[in-house]
Amino acid sequence: MDYEELKAILTEKGLFSSKYLTDDILESKDLSFMYTRFTIKKKSGKSRILHAPHATLKALQHELMYKVLNEFTFMSQVHGFTRGKSVKTGALVHVGCEGLVNMDLKDFFSKFPISLINIAVVKTIRKAIKLGYIAEEQENNINLHRFLVKLITINNYELSQGAPTSPLITNLGMMKVDATIVKFIKDLVDYKGALIYSRYADDITVSSSVAEIDFMSEIVIPINRILSYNTLNLNFAKTRIQRKHKRMEVTGVVVNEKLSIPKWKYYAMRAKIHNLSKIGKISADEYQKTMGYLQWMIYLKPQTSQKMLDTLKGLEVV
């Protein structure tokens, strides 16, 4: 491979800045050495391993994201990492349903199939050509394809949860999968117009306006077949069937009659902020986690959540 020729293809029309395309990035077969590994605690108490890209690599990923990936539009049923959509919009479509099932895609980022990553990269190249960032004759350039795969993956074609490109790459790879599931749901004769599908990253929800439905046999198992065909799998341990007579949640938002935050979560956060305000300081790690949760709460309880957020911002971070 002529690396100078590849660099010219990547920079001549402004897709990437030449100052970030170092020899290491162009010539290395794998860019895992350009990530920092760290762990965070999950709600379950287990640890989640994340890999954060170094500044130069992250700058290239940001260029790809802002110039090309953000220009894609996705199905209305996709609510994660797309313009005008959020946890709130994803929950809103299910408000007032008779019942719903939450499904979780197993090891979504770390085990996202290379076949779907390749599909996403092909779409990315075609979009970049359409936007004028790559010459049309480069559409089938295998070296260009391989470079973009290398740029967005780690450890032999895994997607890093710390890379800014990963969420949009999964959305691109899932386009046909989402469309297949939506068609399956719409074609269910006994439930015409009664079912709603939504996906936020690895969280899939199907709700029904009909109470008499066997979610496991009629929804979960068939959807898992569609996913398995595409080398994806559900984490059945996280599958939850919920009915109207009890609290129903979609991505942590209550959807029984209106959108709301579970009371216990709200009161727990209020107590936490109250206690922190007395102490006057907070660790950097805890600050980031609390900030993220409050920013999510603002979607649903803007006034009270903003007050808590203002208190958090006034704390000393140590």
Bridge partners of residue 37, in order along the sequence: 51
Q: Identify the band that residue 288 occupies on the pLDDT scale cut at 50, 70 and 90.
A: confident
Mean pLDDT of 109-116: 96
In whole angstroms, what is the distance from residue 271 CA to residue 279 CA? Answer: 13
Q: What count of Cα atoms within 13 Å lies in the side-chain half-sphere of residue 232?
A: 23
- Residue 189 confidence (pLDDT): 87
Report the C-alpha gap between 27 and 147 in whole angstroms. 9
pLDDT exceeds cutoff 90 at 60: yes
CA-nearest of 89, 105, 137 to 232 is 105
**Cβ neighbours of residue 139 closer than 8 Å, sequence gap 6 or more:** 125, 126, 129
Q: Is the pLDDT of residue 46 over 80?
A: no
Whether 1 shows a pLDDT value over 80: the answer reads no
- The tens digit of pLDDT for each residue in 215-262 reads 999 999 999 999 999 999 999 999 999 999 999 999 999 999 999 898
User: How confident is the model at residue 27, as a pLDDT?
Assistant: 95
Has residue 146 got a pLDDT over 80? yes
Q: Is pLDDT at 69 greater than 90 in this prediction?
A: yes
Q: Above 90 in pLDDT, residue 303?
A: no
Which has the minimum average pLDDT: 30-34, 38-42, 236-240, 303-307?
38-42
Q: Which residue's structure tokens are 């004759």?
A: 137
More confident residue, 153 or 303: 153
Mean pLDDT within 63-72? 98
Token digits of residue 125: 């190249």
Would the pLDDT of 42 be above 70?
no
For the chain, give the mean pLDDT. 94
Asked if residue 112 has pLDDT above 90, the reply is: yes
